[in-house]
Structure 1
Amino acid sequence: MEQEIKQIDRGWLEGAAKTITFIVTKDCQLACKYCYLVGKNENERMSIETAKAAVDYILDTRDFFNEESVIWEFIGGEPFLEIDLIDNICDYIKTQMFVKNHHWFNSYRFNFATNGINYNSSKVQNFIKKNWTHLSIGITIDGTKKKHDLNRVYKNSEKGSYDDVVLNIPLWLNQFPTSGTKVTISSPDIPYIKESVLHLYSLGIHEVNINVVYEDVWKEGDDLKFEEQLLLLADEIIDNGFYKDYVCSFFSETIGKPMDINSDNRNWCGAGRMLSIDAAGNFYPCTRFAQYSLRSKSARVIGNINDGIDKNKVRPFIVLDRIVQSKQECIECNVASGCGWCQGENYDISETGTISQRSTAICKMHKARVRANNYYWNKLYRKLEIDGTPKDIIKRVKNNPSFC
């Protein structure tokens, strides 16, 4: 029955949506070596009472939560460890949006990023069937078995999880054929980038969202190894025509240019414009400001289910822009566009506990990506012109990087 379900494009306006994240558990079957969640445990689990109180506050505070749409997101740890709780929360959300005649009632989505281990369980599949028309699910698979098992290992063990995850990829893609996976790159797995992206394509995953970790884990020479892998990947994608049907987020025409601060001084990160809730009912500007995400700083709480949101604690996040938190060399960098940061990581590495000190740990990695990115687009355009591709198609490629 589940095999016959197909996701369709519903024109979801995610750009106009508020993201509200429930940290339903801090437990996970895995202990991924690059995971930023340093405080995972089996004890902190959200209660249905806490979740209901959060939903009530959010739906009743329409002047603050006035976006056109909403993404109700559930994370852990591994969220599907708490599928019964999540099912109850989602039922309550739908009921209350209807009862309160809320404008989100027909403009919402439930969103999940899962490790995929128990994706095929009957409870998870029943939840998918029940909420099909308002559901997005991504399964994280890092690439080849060697790449995946290098980091994504079971807790209290060095056993990799690839074999258990890959079994569920066909079912997931049958149900969510347009979904992409998220790949994380840290220093040890740079040599496996090219083969891992191609492997994910071979599994039928058409969109590979891939990024390097923002933490300061990079070693001397990693940027050159990174560039080499991206150049090899670019050749494979272009020479074999993968650009026609597949996406790799490392290659984008929008990156590697100077920033026009006068026209675009926006903050890279959305912290403060989203909301996260933990098991104790505390509110955070992002999950990265909860204690289990921080190595050296205390949690940054902006409210709770009893007292609501303290707008004075949100204001510093809202006024953040690129200039406020960047060094002059970053502002004037000739390849600044596309170079990002995590606000929580900025806070965690700061000397004074400020959120306005930008981490630059990925500087060399970004520049390496830009060099490879330039190679990719120059080679692709030459190929399209040599092959006699009509100019209107080439123009579409240039104007819409996601076309490739």
Structure 2
Amino acid sequence: MKRTEQYTEQLSRLYPELHQANEKEKILTQTVTFQVTDDCNLSCTYCYQIKKGKRKMSLETAEKMIDLLLTGEKGMKEYINPHKSPGLIIDFIGGEPLLETKLIDQICSYAIDRMIELNHPWLDKTMFSICSNGTLYHDPEVGKVLDKWKNRLSFSVTVDGNQELHDSCRIFPDGSPSYDLAVSAAKDWMNKGNYMGSKITIAPANVMHTYDAIVHMFELGYCEINANCVYEDGWKPIHATVLYNEMKRLADYILENNMDFENDYYCSLFEEEFFHPKLSSDLENWCGGNGVMLAVDPAGIIYPCLRYMESSLGNQQEPYSIGDVDHGICQTECDRCRVERLKKIDRRTQSTDECFNCPIAEGCSWCTAYNYQIFGTPDARATYICIMHKARALANAYFWNRYYRKNKINKRMKLYIPKEWALDIITEKEWNLLKREAEEE
């Protein structure tokens, strides 16, 4: 399927010498997230940041973090360094990051200037990233900064598909909608010849709009659509049935319009290599929240991932920090213990036997930091999303087996999901149809 080349893939292609044998810990690009503010001008109903505030990062705090990253002092080189991670992505989030556009510009300038001064190996392998709600995009100062850094910038605006879905969740504090502003921003960025990423968040309150939302994104000109179900509690079997039917309609639309999913289009709801058992030797964690990411909040506190911050955890758990910009990283016994604990977490330690041996384990996702938020330990696994993964498994079998036949591709997607699981979501008649299509030559 068509997917835009990711920065890690680009580095791998351009610098094949960066790959070195027997370096299991090598990660070609490391992402460091700067939460420039925990304030936001929207009040999205599904936002994982449940304790927003009005804090703003100071330039001094940002410069201290940049200096730690580039000098490797105070424990930083043991956590992240150019040998282990030859590429660097500096990611800006909020709240809404464009509330602090001037600060973002200052941080980017300082980072590049310091890299030049130090003749740092990250200089020609550093990118910046901003994901915005798009409401401030047309501010002239925002435009200047985006244009200034566009050659080093991955910029995206969250558009949750069609207007009905988007405005059901992504609203201003007074309840007014944000769709028109978001779409205007996305279209303008793309019309200038820039790539625009997509991100559709599916929640119990909007799952019934999935078909309309994704078709609308295709019609807006998006060829690559990333859509995901939230991890949080609230999913019920009826939602899985709705998602299956929405994805089935979407599959029919793709087939009727002869959309080439081998070369021209991609939608993350349809994954060819998912929905089968995983090897018992495959222990890789789904996300980087077990110690391969890094984030700093407005006060300069350092975390393994942005979702360990107070703004994400609220009052449910103690913030899971591992350092700060003044004292460094892993400099206390508590911080070192937390990092070592995270390093030991893998798919086996987090999963029950049922999850670990699941017949459709491939592609089932989780968030280690959210696990900590729910259970008080990152070494556990929230499974609220399980029923939606089962629905996706069924819908993918429907789509791919029809896609293969239509395009005369000699392949079939096998149904690994047990019948009793399927019948919680679809009828026996529908199950028999999927089984027959999976087995037909």
Partner SS for 1:80? helix
> 1:207 pairs with 201, 213, 224, which one?
224
Partner SS for 1:261? coil
| Residue in 2 that maps onto 1:69 | 87
Distance 1:303 1:74, change over 3 A: same
| Residue in 2 that maps onto 1:224 | 241
Residue 384, structure 1, aligned to residue 407, structure 2: yes
Residue 251, structure 1, aligned to residue 276, structure 2: no
Give the residue type in structure 1 aligned to 2:153.
L
> 2:296 pairs with 241, 259, 277, which one?
277
| Residue in 2 that maps onto 1:399 | none
Residue 366, structure 1, aligned to residue 366, structure 2: no
| Residue in 1 that maps onto 2:163 | 145
| Residue in 2 that maps onto 1:357 | 380
Query: What is the distance in 1 between the residues matched to 2:403 and 2:300?
Result: 50
Give the residue type in structure 1 aligned to 2:36.
V
| Residue in 2 that maps onto 1:286 | 305
Give the residue type in structure 2 aligned to 1:306.
D
Query: What is the distance in 2 between the residues matched to 1:307 and 1:134?
Result: 30
CA contact (8 A) 1:194 1:229 kept: yes
Distance 1:208 1:375, change over 3 A: same
Give the residue type in structure 2 aligned to 1:197.
I
1:115-145: CA deviation from partner (whole Å, max 9, x where unpaired): 0111122212211222122110011000111
Deviation at 1:176, TM superposition (A): 5.5
| Residue in 1 that maps onto 2:149 | 131
Query: What is the distance in 1 between the residues matched to 2:182 and 2:220?
Result: 12
CA contact (8 A) 1:137 1:176 kept: no
| Residue in 2 that maps onto 1:402 | none
1:345-377: CA deviation from partner (whole Å, max 9, x where unpaired): 101110xx2111100001110011011011111
Query: What is the distance in 1 between the residues matched to 2:298 and 2:146?
Result: 24
Q: How many residues in Structure 1 have an aligned counterpart in Structure 2?
A: 378
Give the residue type in structure 1 aligned to 2:191.
N
Deviation at 1:177, TM superposition (A): 4.4
| Residue in 2 that maps onto 1:183 | 200
Residue 32, structure 1, aligned to residue 44, structure 2: yes
- Compute the TM-score of the two structures, normalised by the length of structure 1: 0.90
Query: What is the distance in 2 between the residues matched to 1:255 and 1:45?
Result: 41
CA contact (8 A) 1:23 1:46 kept: yes
Residue 337, structure 1, aligned to residue 352, structure 2: no
Deviation at 1:313, TM superposition (A): 2.4
Deviation at 1:87, TM superposition (A): 0.5
> 1:16 pairs with 28, 34, 37, which one?
28
Residue 304, structure 1, aligned to residue 324, structure 2: yes
Distance 1:327 1:175, change over 3 A: farther
CA contact (8 A) 2:189 2:195 kept: no
Query: What is the distance in 1 between the residues matched to 2:351 and 2:124?
Result: 40
Partner SS for 2:33? strand
Deviation at 1:63, TM superposition (A): 4.6
Identity %: 38
CA contact (8 A) 2:295 2:303 kept: yes
Query: What is the distance in 2 between the residues matched to 1:205 and 1:274?
Result: 29
| Residue in 2 that maps onto 1:400 | none
RMSD: 1.9
| Residue in 2 that maps onto 1:398 | none
Residue 81, structure 1, aligned to residue 81, structure 2: no
Deviation at 1:274, TM superposition (A): 1.0
Query: What is the distance in 2 between the residues matched to 1:326 and 1:63?
Result: 29
Query: What is the distance in 1 between the residues matched to 2:406 and 2:163?
Result: 32
1:141-181: CA deviation from partner (whole Å, max 9, x where unpaired): 001111100000002x1111112222222211124544321
1:196-226: CA deviation from partner (whole Å, max 9, x where unpaired): 1000111111111000000012134111111
Deviation at 1:257, TM superposition (A): 0.8
Query: What is the distance in 2 between the residues matched to 1:79 and 1:103?
Result: 27
> 1:266 pairs with 275, 280, 284, which one?
284
CA contact (8 A) 1:284 1:303 kept: yes
Distance 1:8 1:339, change over 3 A: closer
Unaligned runs of 5+ in 1: 1-6, 396-404
Distance 1:8 1:362, change over 3 A: closer
Deviation at 1:9, TM superposition (A): 9.4
> 1:163 pairs with 164, 180, 183, which one?
180
